[in-house]
Amino acid sequence: MPEFTRDETMDDLLSRVARESGIADGAGGAPEIPVGEHIRAFREKQGLTVQQFAEKTGFSAALLTQVENRMVSPSLGTLVKIANTFGTTVSSFIGGKEEREFSIVRKEDRTTVSRVGLKDGGKSSYTYESLGAGKAGRKMEPFLVRLQPLSEPPSARSVHDGEEFLYVLSGKVSVCLGSLSDVLEEGDSIYYNSTIPHHVHSADHREALILAVIHAGA
């Protein structure tokens, strides 16, 4: 997907949102996490082959191999489904920190997690920062998500157990939810069951910034 070009007005807007919400320009200051490598490490820690991992999660072995080799990128829904399968959290296979009864995530400590982190340096359709890392036994996964515009309509939608809440901080967000197709603007929100096939992306040529809270279910 080609990298988008932001105009000066959008740069100013994002800078203002960043200052007001404590977000550093360009998302967190830490390097992006290569998600595929962490998923492989998580699988190997479980003592599972790719085929066994596929059978447990419901994803194909071919897809998981591509994810582990950083050829394709897993969506947040995919990561949540894997976490649900093993009764754990998303942070357990993206290098989360030690967990305890509460979690304080300082703005300078947030780590940007890219859906891609591809070997060829490809860009992601979105990146996200975990805002709840370190909270033991949590049922919610809060993220700050940066959505990029798509060059073509989405061909796949996420489906997994649980619920999701999205709040638009800046930009416009296109929401595809079952038979519903709508656009959310700054200050709008949506709350839905994750069992409904869904997909969200920037509704125009600019980046959109959202707060996403996912309840993994069970």
Query: Is the overall model pTM greater than 0.75, yes or no?
Result: no
CA 146, distance to chain mean position in Å, is 9
Cα-only R_g, the chain: 17
The set of residues, in sequence order, having a beta carbon less than 8 Å from that of 61 and lying 6+ positions away, is 50, 51, 53, 54
Contact between 164 and 197 under an 8 Å Cβ cutoff? The reply is: no
Q: For position 52, what pLDDT does the model report?
A: 95
Q: For position 121, what pLDDT does the model report?
A: 44
- Helix (H) or strand (E) holding 18, with range, is helix 8-21
- Domains of the chain and CATH, by start: 8-215 (2.60.120.10)
Q: For position 122, what pLDDT does the model report?
A: 47
Instruction: Give the closest residue to 140 by CA, choosing from 150, 132, 128, 148.
Output: 132
Query: In this structure, what token pair is assigned to residue 4?
Result: 């988008």
Q: For position 58, what pLDDT does the model report?
A: 87
pLDDT in tens, the chain (218 residues): 333 333 333 333 333 333 343 333 344 444 456 778 888 888 999 999 999 999 998 889 998 998 888 777 777 778 878 888 888 777 766 655 667 788 777 887 776 665 544 444 445 566 778 888 777 777 788 889 988 887 776 667 888 888 999 999 999 999 999 999 999 999 999 999 999 999 898 999 899 999 999 887 66
pLDDT in tens, 154-193: 667 888 888 999 999 999 999 999 999 999 999 999 999 9
Query: Which residues pair with residue 158 across a beta bridge?
Result: 198
CA 68, distance to chain mean position in Å, is 17
Q: For position 14, what pLDDT does the model report?
A: 33
Q: For position 169, what pLDDT does the model report?
A: 97
Q: For position 192, what pLDDT does the model report?
A: 95
Rounded Cα distance between 30 and 173, Å, is 26
Rounded Cα distance between 63 and 73, Å, is 10
Q: For position 150, what pLDDT does the model report?
A: 77
Q: For position 131, what pLDDT does the model report?
A: 85
